[in-house]
Each structure stands twice: as structure tokens, then as C-alpha cells.
């Protein structure tokens, strides 16, 4: 949620910040703005997409600028509420990601001497800084953040200073360095085409950026030495290339990303498998799509390793803290590694001495650094809001861990490499066209239902998420056996029902459950290795055994994409959603 970027250097900061904001569009937002320093601070703020902004008049040159894409939390979607926000004298400009939990008390206190122009919680920050600016810029910022409660990332500019100051608590901020140029952003793609050299802020840290970089611990004021890290992402990976949207590009990249995910060191996989085997209670946790991957993990560990793994969505995890011990293991899954609910679950677990293992896609993310061991998904940048290639990579690693826990690592690797090859065969224009024809048939539906059993039950729930995110059609995923316990009441003539079939012990039962819907007039779509007489439309998938969730998800992703296109939706930027959910 919300994107932040700042720049100091010898190039036109205004253009670099605008360009950076365009590269952060995938995070989800409803308005944007920039502040540039040229003697005084000047603002440009707009509602809508920055990708549609051509500059109008020539953008004023500056060597220092900050920018922000806003996802509304406090106050409506208006120019007044978009960032940056300024002090009364206009000399201090602030952009902010997160929520100021005590802003009402602070605003009430400040309203005596300060005039507020917006409905946002953010605006208290420049006024707090203004209150103590006579102490100096750095000290005034420290005083301000000492009053603030919540999780946040803050970037501050001062008309009377040649410095940028940034503070982090709970929301990501990353510094980029390219000789005399300094960048700071909430995500690496904002400046990836300029530099791959980065330094990460940790919680309760402040960085002062000018010709030098000075890092401080806000708790005791001590200076911190930070090491530089080189990111191995290629800037071209974060571009659309020949594809019209990021999401279809990322779907097609699964030809390679599944194999990259599986290409882990055997020694590391076995090490984690041993931790799972000796743990007294293991929890999977994640949110949204990552949560559905966790639930697939529950099934795959039971089926392959004869092992019970607990799962809870991260926002509910604190309810389980009462029986955690230092023998408990947590496996946390997050694409960004910055999801607020996941990080809170990790904090709760760490207080109980729980060992943390994470599956993440972003090098240096908060989750990676908070973990005792982190597996990199290796999928490369995923910029569409709806996760595709990272999801199948996560499923692949979870499956690999299950096989390793059972002492069958070689068998698991062979299964998944075969699956990667099968996915390569699936992702071709002819296959996509076949799925697109189905999208044309059901694009005007108000509801779509997805059925699954065994490994494909949590996948049915993920399929529903994908269809809802991209096309805004209401979709629900059900366990096949639950249809007669309520959901059959929803079935009408021609209701689209998608059945996910694996070639396993649940095959006959899911077909039987599907017949219950068919006999009530449903239009049956089978995603299955084999055709069946009850299917009105069949999408063939390979027989991938215990990797069936991977191959069964691919046509759902393609279907959701084409439903979005046919319904006039933007498949990259899902309405009301954000790629990285950094607020609770």
C-alpha cells in the first residue's frame, strides 16, 4: 500500500520521482503527489493514475524531490488528502505510508496553533516537526516521531535544508546508492533502473540523506553502520516487454519461475525438513493468496509426510499465542515480506521463542530479516496486484519441503521439475485461446462457483480470489462434499461451476459432487487431466500427481485475466486492493 520515493542528486529529481512513482503503481493507489525543492517547496498533487500524467507544463527542475502514491485510509480520495502534506509555513513536506494510531489526540492538540488542510492522519507529522524546528531539522523530526504511535514509513523534506530524512517503523524503506545519487523508496523497482546497490532501514531507525548517508537508532540515538547489498534482479524483469499487462507476462513466466523455485540447495531443504520433524507444533501463516498456499501446505504435508501442520491466517494468529513454546516452529509466507499482519504474527511468535522460517520473494524484506531461515522464491519482481507466478513458486517449495520431511527429497524434486516442464507445454497461444473462449461464454455471470477436494479444495478458494480480484465477478470456492450442506441453494440454471480434478483418491467423489450441481442446471467447467460426460466445457491439464494444484491453477489465472479484459477491468490494478498490504 502507498508508494514512497525520494531523490537527491545531480539529475532532474522531479522527473526521476515521477518515473519512480510510475514504477510503484502496482502497489495500488488512488491519488499521487510530488514535492520538489527549488528555493521553496512546490507541490503537484492529483487524483487518479500517474501513468496518465504527461507533465502538462514542463516539470520544474530540481535536485531534490519526494513523491507518493496514496491508498486512502483516513479521508476521501481528493487532491487535498493526497500526499505530500506540508507545515503551515509550507517549508516542511512529508510523505507517509502507514497509520498514525493516535492522530486524533495529536490533531486536537495541534489545532490550537496550526491550520489543517486535509482529513488525513499524515498531516499531523509536518505540524509536529514545525513545532520544534528551532531545535534543528534532525532534532525536530526525532521529537515528532517520538510522539507518534503506529506502524509507518516517513520521508521528510525541508526548504531550509539540503537533506532528506526518513524514518521506519513497520513499513519498508530502502536506500539506493549510485555514486553521488541517493534514492529512497518503499520498494526496489522504484529505482532499479538507476542502481542495484541498496541499504535497508530496520524498525526504529532513521536515515539522514545528503552527500553522505547517516543511520541512527531512534531508541538510543546511536549511529549505525549499514552494509551495502547488491540486488540480483534485472531491471527488464520489472517491465512488461511485449505483453499488454504485467499479469499476463507474469503468468507466462511460470514456464521458468517454478523451476527456479525448486532449484534450492538440498542441504538447506533438508535442514528445514529436520526442523519441521523435531518441532513440537508447526504453524503455517500467511494472508490472502499466501494463506491459501499455507492451506495447500496443510494437505500436502498430511498426504506426503503423514504430518499434521497447523494453519491460521496471520491476522488471527495472536489468538494462538497462549500455547506457543520455544519448541514451536512457524513457517510464514509472503510475496513482499512486508505484510503487516504477517509481521505482527512473527513478532508475537518471536516473543515466545518460536523459530521462524519464511518463504519470501523480496531480498532484504522485513520478513526475511526477521527470520531464522528464509527461502527465496526466486520468481523475480511481481508487479501485478494479483499474485500468479509467486503463488505457484510458493506451492512448489511447500511441496518440496513436504517430500524432504518424508525423506523423499529426490522424488519431490523430480515431480516438480516434471511439473515445470508440463507448465511450459501448457503456456502456449492455442491453450490461452481455448481458455479465452470460455471467458467469452461466462463473462456476464454474476456468480462463479469453484469446487475441489483434497489438495484442490484450498486451490478452489484461491481460484475464487483470482476471479474476484481481476474481473470483479463474485466467486466462491467450496469443498465438493459441502455442496449439499448449503451451497447448492445458490445454483440456478447456467450457473458456472468450475470443478478442479486431480488424478487421486478424491476424483470419483468430486465428479459425484459436480453432478449434484449439474442436475440443478449448472454449467459445468472441468479442469482435469481427463474429460468427463458431465463437463459442458473441458480444459485439459497434465496429470501432475501431488503437484496438481500448480497445473490446475494455471488455467484459472488465464481465465481470470481474460474475464477482466472482456469486462473492461484493468487486470494489473485490482480495484480497492494493494500489492503490499503494510497496514493492519
In whole angstroms, give the CA distance from residue 181 to residue 211.
8
What three-state secondary structure class fits 409? Answer: helix
What three-state secondary structure class fits 11? Answer: coil
List, in sequence order, every residue forming a beta bridge with 451; answer none if it has no partner.
478, 499
432 prior amide bond cis, ω within 30: no
Inter-residue contact 516 to 495 (CB < 8 Å): no
In whole angstroms, give the CA distance from residue 70 to residue 400.
39
Helix (H), strand (E) at residue 286 = strand 282-286
Inter-residue contact 422 to 480 (CB < 8 Å): no
Active site residue 2: yes
Cα first-last separation, the chain: 11
Q: List all residues 6 or more positions away from 574 whose beta carbon is below 8 Å from its beta carbon.
A: 28, 385, 386, 469, 470
Q: List all residues 6 or more positions away from 153 whose beta carbon is below 8 Å from its beta carbon.
A: 4, 96, 97, 98, 166, 167, 168, 169, 170, 171, 172, 173, 186, 582
Q: List all residues 6 or more positions away from 491 whose beta carbon is below 8 Å from its beta carbon.
A: 449, 497, 517, 520, 521, 522
3-state secondary structure string, 320-383? HHHHCCCCCEEEEEECCCCCHHHHHHHHHHHHCCCEEEEEECCCCCHHHHHCCEEEECCCCCCC
Residue 170 DSSP code: B
CA separation (Å) from 569 to 26, 437, 476? Answer: 15, 18, 20
Q: Write the DSSP string, 412-443.
A: HHHHHHHHHHHHHHH-SHHHHHHHHHHHHHHT
In whole angstroms, give the CA distance from residue 135 to residue 179.
31
Helix (H), strand (E) at residue 108 = helix 103-110
Only one residue has cell 505484510, namely 339
Residue 5 DSSP code: E
What are the cell numbers at 490?
445458490
Inter-residue contact 24 to 187 (CB < 8 Å): yes
What three-state secondary structure class fits 214? Answer: strand
Give me the catalytic one of 307, 484, 579, 584.
579
In whole angstroms, give the CA distance from residue 534 to residue 524.
7
Q: List all residues 6 or more positions away from 489 whose beta carbon is below 8 Å from its beta carbon.
A: none
What are the cell numbers at 375?
527461502
Q: Known catalytic residues?
A: 2, 579
Amino acid at each position: 500500500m502507498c508508494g514512497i520515493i525520494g531523490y537527491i542528486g545531480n539529475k532532474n529529481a522531479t522527473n526521476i520521482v515521477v518515473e519512480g512513482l510510475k514504477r510503484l503503481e502496482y502497489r495500488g493507489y488512488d491519488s499521487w503527489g510530488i514535492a520538489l525543492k527549488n528555493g521553496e517547496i512546490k507541490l503537484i498533487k492529483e487524483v487518479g493514475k500517474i501513468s496518465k500524467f504527461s507533465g502538462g507544463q514542463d516539470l520544474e527542475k530540481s535536485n531534490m524531490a519526494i513523491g507518493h502514491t496514496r491508498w486512502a485510509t483516513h479521508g476521501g480520495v481528493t487532491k487535498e488528502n493526497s500526499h505530500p502534506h506540508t507545515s503551515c509555513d509550507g517549508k516542511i513536506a512529508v510523505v507517509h505510508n502507514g497509520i498514525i494510531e493516535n492522530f486524533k489526540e495529536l490533531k486536537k492538540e495541534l489545532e490550537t496553533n496550526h491550520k489543517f488542510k486535509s482529513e488525513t492522519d499524515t498531516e499531523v507529522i509536518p505540524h509536529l516537526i514545525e513545532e520544534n524546528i528551532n531545535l534543528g531539522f534532525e532534532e525536530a523530526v526525532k521529537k515528532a516521531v517520538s510522539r507518534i504511535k503506529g506502524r509507518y514509513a516517513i520521508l521528510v523534506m525541508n526548504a531550509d535544508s539540503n537533506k532528506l530524512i526518513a524514518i521506519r517503523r513497520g513499513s519498508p524503506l530502502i536506500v539506493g546508492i549510485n555514486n553521488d545519487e541517493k534514492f529512497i523508496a518503499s520498494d526496489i523497482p522504484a529505482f532499479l533502473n538507476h542502481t542495484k546497490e541498496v541499504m535497508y532501514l530496520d524498525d526504529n531507525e532513521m536515515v539522514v540523506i545528503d552527500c553522505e548517508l547517516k543511520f541512527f537508532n531512534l531508541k538510543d540515538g546511536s549511529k549505525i553502520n549499514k552494509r551495502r547489498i547488491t540486488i540480483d534482479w534485472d531491471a527488464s524483469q520489472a517491465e512488461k516487454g511485449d505483453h499488454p499487462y504485467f499479469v499476463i507476462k507474469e503468468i507466462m513466466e511460470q514456464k521458468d519461475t517454478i523451476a527456479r523455485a525448486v532449484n534450492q540447495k538440498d542441504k538447506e531443504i533438508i535442514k528445514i525438513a529436520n526442523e519441521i520433524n523435531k518441532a513440537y507444533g508447526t504453524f503455517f501463516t500467511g494472508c490472502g493468496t499466501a494463506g491459501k498456499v499455507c492451506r495447500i501446505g496443510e494437505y500436502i504435508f498430511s498426504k506426503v509426510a503423514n504430518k499434521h501442520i497447523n494453519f491460521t491466517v496471520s491476522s488471527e494468529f495472536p489468538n494462538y499465542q497462549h500455547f506457543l513454546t520455544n519448541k514451536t516452529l512457524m513457517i510464514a509466507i509472503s510475496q513482499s515480506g512486508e505484510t503487516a499482519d504477517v509481521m505482527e504474527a512473527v513478532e508475537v511468535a518471536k516473543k515466545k521463542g518460536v523459530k521462524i522460517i519464511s518463504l519470501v520473494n523480496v531480498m532484504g524484506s522485513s520478513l526475511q530479516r526477521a527470520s531464522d531461515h528464509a527461502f527465496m522464491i526466486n520468481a523475480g519482481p511481481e508487479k501485478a496486484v494479483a499474485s500468479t507466478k509467486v503463488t505457484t513458486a510458493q506451492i512448489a517449495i511447500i511441496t518440496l519441503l513436504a517430500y524432504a520431511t518424508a525423506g523423499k527429497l529426490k522424488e519431490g524434486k523430480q515431480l516438480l521439475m516434471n511439473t515445470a516442464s508440463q507448465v511450459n507445454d501448457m503456456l502456449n497461444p492455442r491453450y490461452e485461446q481455448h481458455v479465452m473462449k470460455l471467458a467469452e461464454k461466462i463473462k456476464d455471470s454474476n456468480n462463479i462457483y469453484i469446487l475441489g477436494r483434497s489438495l484442490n479444495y484450498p486451490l478452489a478458494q484461491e481460484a475464487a480470489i483470482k476471479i474476484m480480484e481481476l474481473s470483479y465477478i463474485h466467486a466462491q470456492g467450496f469443498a465438493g462434499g459441502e455442496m449439499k450442506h448449503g451451497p447448492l441453494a445458490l445454483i440456478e440454471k447456467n450457473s458456472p461451476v468450475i470443478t478442479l480434478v486431480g488424478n487421486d483418491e478424491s476424483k470419483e467423489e468430486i465428479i459425484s459432487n459436480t453432478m449434484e450441481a449439474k442436475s440443478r442446471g449448472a454449467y459445468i467447467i472441468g479442469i482435469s487431466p481427463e474429460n468427463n460426460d458431465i463437463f459442458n466445457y473441458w480444459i485439459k491439464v497434465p496429470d501432475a500427481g501431488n503437484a496438481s494444484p500448480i497445473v490446475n491453477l494455471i488455467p484459472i489465472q488465464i481465465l481470470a485475466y481474460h474475464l477482466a479484459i472482456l469486462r473492461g477491468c484493468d487486470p494489473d490494478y485490482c480495484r480497492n486492493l494493494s500489492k503490499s498490504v503494510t497496514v493492519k
